[in-house]
Amino acid sequence: MKRHWPSSSSIRVNIRGGTSPRTGGDRRPARNAVVALAIGLLAMLATLPVAAQTRTLDGTAERRTPIHEPQRLPGQKIELRVKDTVENTFVRPRVRILTPAERATKAFTPATFDVTYTGFSAQAEVAFQAAVDVWSQLISSPVTIRVNAVWEPLGSGILGSAGSHSSWVNVTNGVPGVVYPDALADALNGSDMGSGDFDIEASFNSTFGDWYLGTDGAPPGGRWDLMSVVLHELGHGLGFLGSPTVDDGADAPECDGVAGHGCWQLGATFPVIFDLFTEDNLGIAIRDSGTFPNNSIALGNVLTGMDVFFDGDAATAGNGGSPAELYAPGTWEQGSSYSHLDETVFAAGNPSSLMTPLLGSAEAIHDPGPVTLGIFEDVGWEVAGEIFADGFESGTTSMWSASVP
């Protein structure tokens, strides 16, 4: 497998949540290894319809601009869509919210979020904060994670969308390498890369009429649980997203204008960290340019072949020893394909069902689950392991509805 990890640099930062190589390759950092990052800027390209809704979009003129000087481009946003089902499931949070005194005693430094709300009701803000409280105790960062949360009209059937505000590329020996979303770049760098800018841009659909704003994990049929949607969207903003796309052959070209061609939106040179762990069902890296060249049918086919997996040590461990299947439907779904777990494999009630592309009514998921936390650990987050409540619990609502935390 052809995967690469920066081996040296001019700035050294401590990656606290790295993983050790599982298969003898050198593609991943050793746990607690000091990995060099000189972070220059880069960019996830906003060629998506969703991204077009972001206010910071400055067009596509800078696509594939060589990175010879610091620059910033807007990040892409990934959607969560309505699934018109009644699930009656609840994945319980497995973190207990610590008191400030307890927090002070932990070697693990819970992440701090600073959320700027636009258009939220007071009750919606409460649900948002509940989701923030879950994430804050599962990942660590010395840098406050700034979230721009906007309650605004989105497309029909879309619950929310989110992504990083911008992304940064680490530079090794002067050569730009792997791209990191804002919040993770901050955590790895140990200081704020964006000088106080937002790290995460998240939007929630103000024209959707069936929100459930409670935080008890008990949305009834016909209601969609906002807290679950916030947890999901923050997951994208924190780094659950990759960079490939597939050209539909119409309108503005996503790749080279040829229908079915797959490509990397940041070009062949710049993988997003998430991309370094994805592979097909034979274990061949999606980034393997020999098998899946940029702007090729081969890349397009594998991205729409229903057999894309995330193969990182921690994610695989969290998935019972197998690489975790990503959402790769037969037709590319911009803003949905690849940057989600598979909807069928991680069905409602599955402990790791948070990061699937669809959410049913009466479906509450208040924990990222072991697969997503594993993915986060693999891409470089320091993930909490010691502050979980008494084991992981999930199941149908009827099993425990009397004791919803």
Interface residues with Zn ion (CB under 5 A) are 78, 80
Structure tokens at 199: 């790290």
Quick count: other Cβ atoms within 10 Å of Cβ 49? 12
- Shortest Cβ distance from residue 295 to Zn ion (Å)? 26
Rounded Cα gap, residues 43 and 38, in angstroms = 15
> CB of 357: closest distance to Zn ion in angstroms?
6
Shortest Cβ 290–Zn ion spacing (Å)? 31
Q: Of 215 and 356, which CB lies nearer to Zn ion in the complex structure?
A: 356
Q: Residue 19 or 356: which CB sits closer to Zn ion?
A: 356
List the beta bridge partners of residue 80.
160
Give the residue with the Cβ less far from Zn ion, 80 or 187: 80
Cβ at position 191, least distance to Zn ion in Å: 29
The nearest distance, CB 236 to Zn ion, in angstroms, is: 5
State which residue, 155 or 267, has the beta carbon closest to Zn ion.
Answer: 155
For 89, residues 6+ apart whose C-beta sits below 8 A from its C-beta are: 348, 349, 362, 363, 364, 365, 394, 395, 396, 397
Report the alpha-carbon distance of residue 354 to residue 349 in Å, rounded.
9
Nearer to Zn ion, 3 or 340 (CB): 340
User: With respect to Zn ion, which residue has the nearer C-beta, 19 or 76?
Assistant: 76
Report in angstroms how near the CB of residue 79 gets to Zn ion at its nearest: 6
- Given a contact cutoff of 8 angstroms between Cβ atoms, the answer to whether 352 and 341 are in contact is yes
CA distance 166 to 184: 11
| Nearest residue to 238 via CA among 193, 182, 191, 197 | 182
Give least dist CB 232 to Zn ion, A.
Answer: 5
Three-class SS of residue 275? helix
Of 221, 224, 238, 228, nearest in space to 140 by CA: 238
DSSP 99: P
Cβ-based nearer residue to Zn ion, 80 or 263? 80
Q: Are 302 and 262 in contact (CB under 8 A)?
A: yes
